[in-house]
Amino acid sequence: MEHIDIGYTAKLARLELSKDEQELYSAQLGRILEYFHVLSSVDTSGVEPTAHANPLHNVLREDVAVPGFGAGPALANAPQQREDQVLVPRVIE
């Protein structure tokens, strides 16, 4: 059975998990990966990957500036703000 290092993966995802959550996910995701395992036996030699189902590539437009939100509407949902900027806890001591 494939093993997910839940602690390491959660760290990559910047996601705090409780001990109970880690145990729950560890068991469940092990079973789900086992189910995914069927993919590994499929012969895909000479096959190109599909990233999306759309025939479009490199959609370009004229590089013209258009009006956007001002600071007010853009910051209206910020948990904390000051002087038209998002306020966060101190990063550098």
Partner 1 sequence: MNQDSLAYLPASKLARLLASGELTSVELSRSVLERAEHLNAQVNAFLGWDGEDLMAQAEASDKRRKADKALGFFDGIPVALKNNIAVKGSLLTCGSRMLENFVSPYDATVVERMKAAGMLVWGRLNMDEFAMGSSTETSYFGSTANPWDLTRTPGGSSGGSAAALAAGMSPITLGSDTGGSIRQPAAFCGIYGLKPTYGRVSRYGLVAFASSLDQIGPFGHCVEDVARMMEVLCGVDPKDSSSYPAPVSPFHAELELALTGGRPMVLGLPVEYFKEDGLDPAVRRAMDEVVAYYKGIGWQIKDVSLPNSHLAVPTYYVIATAEASSNLARFDGIRYTHRSESASDAVDVYFKSRGEGFGEEVKRRIILGTFVLSSGYHDAYYLKAQLVRTLIRNDFSKAFGEVDLVLTPTTPSPAFVRGERITDPLQMYLNDIYTICPNLTGLPAISVPCGFASQNLPVGFQLIAPHFEEVRLLTAARAYEKGNDWHTRHPAL
Q: Which of 1, 16, 82, 83 binds partner 1 (CB under 8 A)?
A: 16
User: Among positive and negative, which fits the CA dihedral 26, 27, 32, 37?
Assistant: positive
Q: How far apart, in whole angstroms, are the C-alpha atoms of residue 27 and residue 32?
A: 9
Query: How many residues of this chain bind partner 1 (CB under 8 A)?
Result: 50
Backbone angles phi, psi at 44, to 5 degrees: -120, 25
Per DSSP, 74 falls in state H
CB of 52 to partner 1, least distance (A): 4
86 binds partner 1, rule: CB under 8 A: yes
CB of 75 to partner 1, least distance (A): 8
71 binds partner 1, rule: CB under 8 A: no
Which of 12, 51, 7 is closest to 29 using CA atoms?
Answer: 7
Q: Which of 9, 23, 71, 84 binds partner 1 (CB under 8 A)?
A: 9
CB of 43 to partner 1, least distance (A): 9
